[in-house]
Structure 1
Amino acid sequence: MPKIERFEINDRLSRIVVHNGTAYLSGLTADDKNTDTSNQTKQILKNADALLRSVGADRSKLLFAQIWLRDVKDFDAMNKAWIKWLDGAEPPARATVGANFALHEILVEIQLTAAI
């Protein structure tokens, strides 16, 4: 059986799980939640770059993205930040849905899966 590796573990989750050449990132939210959806998205994607690099992946190796938005009216603002971040890389399969979050200040959460 292929090895399962877990990184940045706490009592609730592993921030990254690597198995069989695939990296699974837990849902990411912005560090500064006192900003709009576009800026929260930019923060999340910057953090995603660092997490992906830490396991030998990058945005060009994305397989799937799940995006949750507090308000689906912010879809365009999130997409502008997303497309700029992809910077010409082929986009992954993706789903975007509206969601209620436990913390009111969270406007967007993004979960990624990437090849290594």
Structure 2
Amino acid sequence: MIQRRHTTDRMSQSVTHKGVVYLAGQVGNAGDSVADQTRECLVRVENLLNEAGSSKKHMLQAVIWLADMKDFAAMNDVWDAWVPKGHAPARATGSADLATPDYRVEIIVTAAVAE
């Protein structure tokens, strides 16, 4: 069974299938600093994971897009404080043009449903 949450005609914020939760890219508040946007992304990620019966301890993979790689260290400071010790997912970080120039970071997470 496939379960979609917070679905519009364009996308779902999360999709669960066969014990895996796939999240859409999460962004923070446009115009905020990269650290504040990262914090807000991670609040949204955590809420979506919890709603789907998962948690940040069950993350399998994270893909992080930065508008500017100069923000890598500031984003990592927030990320490192948020990820539970011993539960870091496989991760990739790259730069990309995001939906609007006011977005500095977008985070995409895949996680296992908690058993």
Q: Unmatched 5+ residue regions in structure 2?
A: none
**Structure 1 regions of 5+ residues with no counterpart?**
none
Aligned to 1:114: 111
Displaced runs of 4 or more, over 4 A: none
Q: How many residues align?
A: 113
Amino acid at match of 1:115: A
Shift of residue 89 of structure 1?
4.3
Superposition RMSD in Å: 0.8
Pair 92,56 (structure 1): closer, same or farther in 2 beyond 3 Å: same
Identify the residue that residue 78 of structure 1 maps to in structure 2: 75
CA contact (8 A) 1:59 1:89 kept: no
Question: Among 8, 11, 18, which residue is 1:10 paired with?
Answer: 8
Q: TM-score, normalised by structure 1?
A: 0.94
TM-score scaled to structure 2, two decimals? 0.95
1:17-32 paired onto structure 2 within 5 Å: 17-30=15-28, 32=29
Q: Give 1:90 deviation, angstroms.
A: 1.4
